[in-house]
Structure 1
């Protein structure tokens, strides 16, 4: 079924009367399904519809910004969350420890791995490392060769190793999704952590976000512009912006250096988007469905300008 909205409707109709115990999917689109179920049953807790629900298997994007939102949507004890890393090209890793936020890399699933260090990612002939040469705490682009015929294929994801032997990873972002207009080298892992921290400190719950650069004009200074759609907005937007900025400085020393005394970058500009903005934007782009994710960061203003035109 190619039409995503029709697919969501059919899934909701088929499952609303079922005793579903396990669900799996990308968080963004799972939330769309949950909200449709809420509309059908007149509730705001998925456990009212599926009382036996106990497991959500997620992947595709970092779950960090969505965790609090899912706790609001699925209330009650005994709910478990497990992260996996899989794609059309293969199955790569899964969360093997219930309370951990990393995944065990699978060396024996018909995939040979190579890893491109962050500083080599955008070079024409980058250096690659075997998994015996990687280090913890550094970002790498993933390259795979598979027994299905893929040869040195770049997945487009970046990962960071948390342990070696056994090798465990966290997905840290996408190769194409970053902001480095001023040498700040902000990646999705940085922005996810920053927005998560800001939400926790202000009581907000994030739904979706994206960010891009504000270019220097003449003798002016640059910055970042964020568009955020909230499930629960912060009580004080200015406090949220300051906390977001402070959290991003904590996780990214290059950004901190550029922000020092407003030397090169000014305080971020944050727009609070009306409910449904990101859905309409993805729909407009023909990007609805589980294979498509909201791009978190861009090194140009294309995404920001497109979304601002909808607000």
Structure 2
């Protein structure tokens, strides 16, 4: 055991105690964040346009600042991109995190000198909570990997531009640099197939202890390791005991992962976004992720059922309830105001405040008034494979409004690793799980408006081929698990199993 791992345990205990100091005073913490945000931004262009000088309460704020998205703030962001200072936040940002938008094209999300440290601190604290809970920091002596975007940054009028994961790669602590893989050169490879093969070559003979990334892409890495060695991942990396992930619900991947790894391991879920690091899993025994109330973000919540109403309920942390699906709204030290990032969340605990991501407000199916959301399709699928040897690589769901014959239905595109023996019976099992969760869907099936769902088998590697075909093949891109239109479904017809 190294000195590094010995000292990590007392350091982790101190760090987690500091976190619970603010977590146990949630209202006071958020109130303090709110006041600092308003005070610091009052002399910016946005602050002057929205009379921040006279904001004294959250009610004052709601009257002056509307809920919006990237398009709503675009005129301000365009000024920053053009080189202007003091627009949404004092001075210029340090970085632009470049993301792709469905309607906005490329989006440039500002990251400032005030917001950047919160990304790093939250990721660090997630690991420290794990160390404190397990009383074990031996993993810091092994090699660690994060499957991420290229760290090569470009310049945009004096501001560095890149993917969030590439920007974060510049902030790996010095004490972990020797443990970090892959090499800088490999991380800079843009082509994903080439990059994963290079990562396999660099890591195959190393003592990997921590692996992290989006599950679908880590799965690809694991499969290439097994293909090359003929061994399970746990045989290749005997000291690999936990996986860090974010961005998607892991449950549909869990069976497949444990099959590839060859043993049960621990998991740490993160909720990072270009707009801010929102939450992380702080316990292996409690459900949900600890909401980061002390990270320069003031949170607002709108019940998802009201989001598209003319005057939806808009509340702070003080008024949230368990069991309600909320659209999460951010106000940040990067200068994002009333900002809808598109995610829906549900609280799993109110002491402290923990959340789980339930889906995307734009990713739903209500072609027939059924109001199906991501959480429901994920749970239906997970419940249906529980206790079986069925493994699923990827899936997505879309409505079929105009079938060639018969009633309309929900069409599920699933890439199986291990297929069910009887696909029709499996489809009925998933459909029953959907009806149990969603009363609108149940009524539509019972009323013969819809027929039970149909599953289409996507060929092995089909989702990867689909992502390549639309130019979104890479470690930070992921398939929406449901949509209210046929844009994805119609293209996937070309990737079905014969």
2:486 is aligned with 1:301: yes
3-state SS in 2 of match to 1:168: strand
Residue 81 (structure 1) shift: 0.8
- Which residue number corresponds to residue 9 of structure 1? 197
2:444 is aligned with 1:258: yes
Q: Give CA-to-partner distance per residue, 1:42-78, whole Å, 9 cap, x none.
A: 22x101111110110111000111111111111235x
CA distance in 2, matches of 1:82, 1:188: 21
3-state SS in 2 of match to 1:38: helix
Change (3 A) 1:235 1:101: farther
- Scaled by the length of structure 2, what TM-score is found? 0.59
2:225 is aligned with 1:37: yes
2:483 is aligned with 1:268: no
- Which residue number corresponds to residue 211 of structure 2? 23
Identify which of 431, 434, 450 aligns with 1:248: 434
Residue 202 (structure 1) shift: 4.9
Q: How does 1:136-215 map to 2 (within 5 A)?
A: 136-200=322-386, 202-215=388-401
Residue 136 (structure 1) shift: 0.8
**Does the 8 Å CA contact 1:82/1:95 hold for their aligned counterparts?**
yes
- Which residue number corresponds to residue 182 of structure 2? none
CA distance in 1, matches of 2:473, 2:306: 32
Q: Give CA-to-partner distance per residue, 1:102-131, whole Å, 9 cap, x none.
A: 111110011111112112323466442111
- Scaled by the length of structure 1, what TM-score is found? 0.94
Name the structure with the higher strand share: 1
Change (3 A) 1:91 1:5: same
2:476 is aligned with 1:291: yes
3-state SS in 2 of match to 1:132: helix
- Which residue number corresponds to residue 423 of structure 2? 237
- Which residue number corresponds to residue 100 of structure 1? 286
Higher Rg: 2
- Which residue number corresponds to residue 239 of structure 2? 52
3-state SS in 2 of match to 1:161: strand
3-state SS in 2 of match to 1:270: strand
3-state SS in 2 of match to 1:61: coil
- Which residue number corresponds to residue 130 of structure 1? 316
Unpaired runs of at least 5, structure 1: none
**Does the 8 Å CA contact 2:398/2:483 hold for their aligned counterparts?**
yes
Residue 208 (structure 1) shift: 0.7
Change (3 A) 1:144 1:68: same
Identify which of 241, 250, 259 aligns with 1:63: 250
Residue 195 (structure 1) shift: 0.8
3-state SS in 1 of match to 2:471: coil
**Aligned-residue CA RMSD (Å):** 1.8
Q: Give CA-to-partner distance per residue, 1:136-167, whole Å, 9 cap, x none.
A: 11111111111122222211111011221311
Change (3 A) 1:27 1:101: farther
Change (3 A) 1:17 1:202: closer
**Does the 8 Å CA contact 1:113/1:144 hold for their aligned counterparts?**
yes
3-state SS in 2 of match to 1:99: coil
CA distance in 1, matches of 2:253, 2:405: 39
Change (3 A) 1:201 1:56: closer
Change (3 A) 1:225 1:108: same
3-state SS in 1 of match to 2:255: helix
CA distance in 2, matches of 1:282, 1:114: 33
Q: How many residues align?
A: 308
